Amino acid sequence: MNNTTPLPLVIVSHQLPEAWLAKLHGRCRIITGPPTTVEAGLSADLRTLLPQADGLFSLLTVRVDEALLAQAPRLRVVSNMAVGVDNIDLAACSRHGIPVGHTPGVLTDGTADLTLALLLAVARQLPTAAADAQAGKWTTWLPTGWLGADLQGATLGIVGLGKIGQAVARRAQGFGLRLLYSGPHEKAEAADLGATYVPLETLLCESDFVSLHAPLTTETRHLINAQTLRLMRPSAILINMARGPLVDTAALVDALQNGVIAAAGLDVTDPEPLPPSHPLYSLPNCLVVPHIGSATQHTRRRMAELACENLLAGLEGRPLPHQAN
């Protein structure tokens, strides 16, 4: 039999290693965009193909909104290679009957590992100590040099006890941290983790370290602002592994410059990327890394594979393994 039905057309917003997309081979026609370093959003070339696209595989730098959907009348699925979906207008996708896939679970451990790495790096002043050693300031063993904060016995406040927050809590138990958490409601898993549910204000007042793991929504935007920063201890360290806009950046700069809090470790920023001239980089008490929470070989490949599985399910009219809307 001569089957002339063409394979569905899928736009993959950016170049990715071929092996990561292997699941798509033979199941759809793929048109791939440029590397993210060339253009973070959807390129003009790919936009011209939207009218024919059946599926869209997006990175978190691609804004999927009503304007994009209006150009893509055939679109049957959007698959985001990220757990966060704040780059996507979920309500608009739902209005168009388009399921949106995302990648929870596979990045939980990688992101939780980096949370502890950032916390330890900031608490023990690793960037300053390393730079000082390299600059010849390691003249002798200094009894009072590069003194940091202990984790054992300190209190960690986790804002958002979802999958990643829980994985952070499990790691934190091993470091002897006392755990508080806040969020929209209590979590059954908290009891096993020894984490106590408290209002955000209490968490901020009582924590030595505050770690953000909530999604970006209208409720969480600028959750950490001039007012809430003032509730934190002058010795406190803020870690943001969630999304940059959870924190009011100007207020954070002011808080770090004026001793309102002691230090911050940021995997995500607002804006993102943070321009090299930004004041946060020049603060010795702030460590910024470029959104690398999930950046391990294994994790990023699994994210891409899961995004492929979501995409194929949407193209074939099956329920997505992980649907966000």
Q: Which residues carry out catalysis?
A: 243, 272, 291
Shortest distance, CB of residue 83 to ligand DGY, whole angstroms? 4
Q: Which C-beta is closer to ligand DGY: that of 293 or that of 314?
A: 293
Considering beta carbons, is residue 260 or 308 the nearer one to ligand DGY? 308
Query: How many angstroms separate the CA atoms of 30 and 22, rounded?
Result: 11
Q: Which stretch binds ligand DGY (CB under 6 A): 1-9, 76-84, 114-122, 282-290?
A: 76-84
Kindly state the smallest distance separating residue 103's Cβ from ligand DGY, in Å: 6
Compute and round to an integer the Cα radius of gyration of the chain: 22
Residue 101 as a binder of ligand DGY (CB under 6 A): the answer is: no
Q: Which of 8, 33, 84, 162 contacts ligand DGY by CB under 6 A?
A: 84
Q: Give, as ranges, the residues between 282 and 321 that touch ligand DGY (CB under 6 A).
A: 293-294
Residues 181-210 vs ligand DGY: string with x where CB under 6 A?
A: ------------------------------
CB of 113 to ligand DGY, least distance (A): 13
CB-based contacts of 3: which residues, under 8 Å, 6+ apart? none
Q: Are 16 and 304 in contact (CB under 8 A)?
A: yes
- Using the rule CB under 6 A, give the single segment among 6-14, 81-89, 113-121, 182-190 that binds ligand DGY: 81-89
Q: Which is nearer to ligand DGY, 75 or 107 (CB)?
A: 107
The torsion of the CA quartet 222, 162, 261, 263, rounded to 10 degrees, works out to -110
Binding residue count for ligand DGY, defined by CB under 6 A: 7
Do residues 119 and 265 make contact, with C-beta atoms less than 8 angstroms apart? yes
* Kind plus residue range of the DSSP H or E element containing 180: strand 178-182
Distances (CA, A) of 111 to 105, 119, 165, 182, 297: 10, 12, 9, 19, 13
Site of tokens 């024919």: 52
CA 199, 201, 202, 208 dihedral sign is: positive
158 beta partners:
181, 211
6-65 residues in contact with ligand DGY (CB under 6 A) are 60
Shortest Å, Cβ 120 to ligand DGY: 20
Q: Write out the residues near ligand DGY by the rule CB under 6 A.
A: 60, 82-84, 107, 293-294
